[in-house]
Chains A and B, each alone.
Chain A
Amino acid sequence: MSEADKLGPAIAARNLRVQYGEREILHGISFDVPRNETVVILGGSGSGKSTLLRTLVGLERPSSGEIRICGKNIASLSPPEWDELRRKMGMSFQGGALFGSMTVGDNVALTLREHTQLEESTIEIVVRLKLEQVGLAGFGNYMPAQLSGGMKKRAAIARALAMDPEILFFDEPSAGLDPIIAAGIDNLILKLKKAFRMTVVVVTHELASAYLIADRMILLDKGVIVADGTTAELQASSHPRVRQFLDRVPEPELAEELDYLQMLTGDIPPPRK
């Protein structure tokens, strides 16, 4: 039994439910993210995968159930404890979410300046190091608006890495990027995983990148987990929804007349606020 196993999973979710107003998005899901492994959460649009990620990093509150991160139940943490835990987590947003009013270097330096007592000269070195790791050496003085989409995403990863997090979250790392740049981001995630033995949670619908980076995969469909296992286990699965997703079979047309009627007259769920 290795050191990591004794500490328990990095993230454990139990019977997690999340709702926006009246509409429930996640219907009681449970899973573990083992330490130092890369877990890819797969799912189509509207499957609740982004909501799940937002809940894990604390941007949404679960309506019931619990989340343990590094063994701590996040609902019962005091604000300072929660801040402490958050410093061990890094998040890379879908659009990068770099602060447009600051240079790329200042973006990466922000958490170091705010949360540590490091000398400015040390911070500068760390920033250069992080930018170099994501292949953006020398771009520290650029403004985010001057970077291309792929570079923004790399800069966002550098910012997420600044505090040497134990857990790294990615929201759709390859969304909106061309296949070559997207493959570059996948390689970067692989490289980080090998170099730092981080726990990585990736939300995506890109199968190719999921196969490449995942140790384990979780397939989410309409707010429930339909499959949770290693990449090989998922590929061997015979569950119809898993097969449909992995083999890229489109939804069947609405065949039943009643379904069609329901679609035309049924309640349209309110938009997410």
Chain B
Amino acid sequence: MALTENIGEATLSGLAYVGNLARLAGQAGYFIFIAPFKGERLRLGRAVHQAMAVGVEALPIISLITFFVGTILALQSAYELRKFGALQFVASAVAISMTRELGPLMTAIVVIGRSGSAFAAEIGTMKVNEEIDALETMALDPVRFLMTPKLLAMLLMMPCLTTWADFMGVLGGSVFGVGGAGFTVGTYVRATLDALVLRDIVTGLVKSVMFGLVITAVGCHEGFSTGLGSEEVGRSTTRAVVQSIFLVVIVDLVFTALFYFTAPR
């Protein structure tokens, strides 16, 4: 009896959590997509500021990581492919796994570590210092004021970062391709372009937008639900990272399955 109760309770609280995220994302989405048409000001300046922080400043680390992931991918696929003497497929293996899966996913992981945690820490600290209360007494909606610029920045920057990550991954793969699999730079690029169809890139970008939504919603939700006391900020930040990674993987699974079953054969 206790077991089923526990399972039921965990399921309900999980659903409630997702519901809270959806409500928060819905509010922020309203301020981005609907409120501006009703004459309310969208804080573009702050969104640009956020876009610099979550996007541009993440470029070096994302470049480095995805470059190496591209090389690793080439090595791993070559390990299996050379058994069949099919090393010429390394380029397409790297291209397809980077654009469809690892480009968006690695970008999301880095962004969670850099920005998702920062959202939770920033909003959590404001909550502890009564700054969120101050916003409310000043008739400024905390979601509109704090979350909307972050969400707008994330929705714009995640596809950009992911595109760049795809490119760096292919570049990383080409190091092995040219150095160890008998490609020239020209043939590697040719093989990559032949292997990719638009759908591969688009599905990756759709995922990256969804990841951006999840990361922002979780980061801000954890920030807003921070309790009293500074140790709570640390706890929120940790929770934001763990929950974001988990939910990003779930969203990834759902969308990958969706794309698989809707793909033309």
User: A residues bordering B, Cβ < 8 Å?
Assistant: 54, 57-59, 82-84, 86-87, 89-91, 93-95, 97-100, 110-111, 114-115, 272-273
Contact = CB atoms under 8 A, between A and B. Distances in A.
A110 to B, nearest CB: 7
Interface residues of B, number: 14
A91 B134 contact: yes
Given A272-B228, A273-B227, A86 B137 contact: yes
B138 A97 contact: no
A91 B137 contact: yes
B133 interface: yes
A58 B136 contact: yes
B194 to A, nearest CB: 49
A94 B140 contact: no
B129 A59 contact: no
Interface of B: 125-126, 129-131, 133-134, 136-140, 227-228
Contact of A95 (B130, B136, B227): B130
Contact of B134 (A58, A89, A93, A273): A93
B46 to A, nearest CB: 10
Contacts of A89: 137
Contact of A97 (B130, B140, B227): B130
Given A91-B134, A97-B134, A272-B228, A115 B139 contact: yes
A86 B138 contact: yes
Nearest to B130: A97
A110 B138 contact: yes
Contacts of B138: 86, 110-111, 114
Contacts of B136: 58-59
B131 A99 contact: yes
A163 to B, nearest CB: 8
B140 A57 contact: no
A183 B78 CA distance: 77
